[in-house]
Amino acid sequence: MNNYIMKESNAEESDLIVDKIVEYNLSKVPLKQEIDFLWINRVIEDLKGEIVAGILSKMYCWNCLYIDTLWVKEECRKEGLGSKLLKEVEKIAKENDCHLIHLDTFDFQAKDFYLKHGFEIFGTLDECPQGHKRYYMKKNI
């Protein structure tokens, strides 16, 4: 390591690292969709224009959708907003030839919600965070 310097990366350098791993990945498994990453993000606003729910997801390289974040304001839960958001991104993903959706959630979040929507657990990480579990889930569409 004498000939190298380790430092904190800036945004441009971080983007370079992502670009390089995508370049490598695509050299092993060819791109299946028109663009590398297709963001499928949606929000729901109330009549006052306040955001009360949202979903952030990304369809990547091989027609797979990763759901990064799904949030519903606490007082709006049980109104079906999360289900509407999930169905909307799934519909768009299918229209774009997606075949797999995956995500992760914690035991104190929405595992049962996702199970109700046809997801299955394919992995569990214990003690993440301490005293809890993190579930890795998928759904073939």
- Which domains occur in the chain, in start order? 29-140 (3.40.630.30)
Does residue 129 or residue 36 have the better pLDDT?
129
- For residues 109-127, average pLDDT: 98
Residue 1: predicted pLDDT: 65
Kindly report the pTM of this predicted structure.
0.88
Contacts 24+ apart (CB under 8 A), 105-112: 105/134, 105/135, 105/137, 106/132, 106/133, 106/134, 106/135, 107/132, 107/133, 107/134, 107/135, 108/132, 110/70, 110/82, 111/135, 111/137
Residue 51: predicted pLDDT: 98
